[in-house]
Structure 1
């Protein structure tokens, strides 16, 4: 082989090695960054739900509280309270046999949640709001403008108004004297509760805001009406 031919063979060999080495190299860092920026990671749904401002939430809760407090005042003024005819001691009665609702249930109904109030009566007439931890009733509590503790205070249990209570669904005739005494007791008690609600309004609203802001979706529902 001539010297020229050997030189050409060596040149071709070096070119092949160089090309292979070039293909084996990773792409420049700039190229990787460009691709990543073109296809950013989609944020999750939770990240896209922004919390309304504290001022917005407080304003909405204050308005709800004012309306619900007015409903409580109406309930007190009318003075028609449920009859406990089925328990021998103090008992929570969401709705009695005559269709009279307790204070908390009445507030719920007057806030536009009559269907929910009726559902509670049908499914768990002895419900204690202090024991609620989730579900539709909990959502209502969080958006009522009251704290759960305040609603539990409003939802006072009732004394029996019959000599011999009988298990539901047995109907028992109410004793008029016992009914008058119980009405007088409740009227006095509700006035005391009302004073507490007014006196502690600022602190209670602060706590209600804290709790509602833990649920962005529910907070937005209240703020947007």
Structure 2
């Protein structure tokens, strides 16, 4: 056997039209040679290759131009871009291209379920309940997603010194965060945050500001 074991989540959610990145690591035997990664899709009609790093033509034509590996040490992480509605509801699992019997299902009975959605996550706002006019405050907006290399773009409707960061929540989930240092004014009515996704969709959250 070329590969000893894999680590990947049992389920992940993908947004239709955006990308999804399935985190995966493989741990080879000490004496194993360099191997190539393959991903399988299990359907009632049988299993199909959807990605093959050794021979791309072996992958199903429905996936060949939409699947790629996410780089990294011992990475077998799979990127699907764009996600289609019919990608959901089936089971996926990685294996080794050099040996068809060396895969996560046959060795460890491990698969991943991909659930797809048309509805992007709504951002969350964090701010003080009451602010003082003219005193600097921090306002943050964040949103959870599964497209690590193309995160949603976050925008707040207030000006201020801006900081952006991404946090790995594990299991393929990421939190994109924007924080501004904002000077409140009595003329301000509400704070709004807009998330624009890789597929062009947007979602928004708004909250009133209490300023004394």
- Using structure 1 for the length normalisation, give the TM-score: 0.23
Name the structure where helix makes up a greater proportion of residues: 1
Structure with greater strand percent:
2
- Bigger-Rg structure (1/2): 1
Greater relative CO, 1 or 2 (CA 8 Å, sep 6+) = 1
